[in-house]
Structure 1
Amino acid sequence: MDTSTHTINTLFEQLGLASTDAHIDQFINTHKLFSDKVKLEDATFWNEAQAVFLRDAIANDSDWAEVVDELNTRLRG
């Protein structure tokens, strides 16, 4: 069982993306969700595996859900 603490950095690692604070800030600054109609997991910038992971984290209220919500908020800010 995975008992590690989930952070925005570990979420980016899980998604296969660069996970330094600078890379995360750059990603968020260049990938915005301006419409409330677009769900995080349906954004066009995710590949299929990333979208499935995000969808499952939200739908199953997994231990990743809180940090996925944080990412959603930051992408809409």
Structure 2
Amino acid sequence: MTSISINMRGIHGDAFCRDGDITYRVPVEHTGDYKRGLMVMFDLIDPKPPDEARAQVIARLKLELATWAKANEQAVCW
């Protein structure tokens, strides 16, 4: 993964995670603590990774989002 950006519209938004030439869109929403908490919904990832690579892609996304969250004083859950 090379970059992460999060675009929020109210309590809902999208996390965009770039992996090479593919950008994955993962829906997120505030967990109730609007300043610190984001719930990441990997079930709705777009585009869907191939079945054989799905677990690996999601594991990389989780690591990148956790690193981003720590650097930005955010909390994430999935």
How does the TM-score come out when normalised to structure 2? 0.32
- In terms of fraction of residues, the more strand-rich structure is 2
- In terms of fraction of residues, the more helix-rich structure is 1
The structure whose RCO (Cα within 8 Å, separation 6+) is larger is: 1
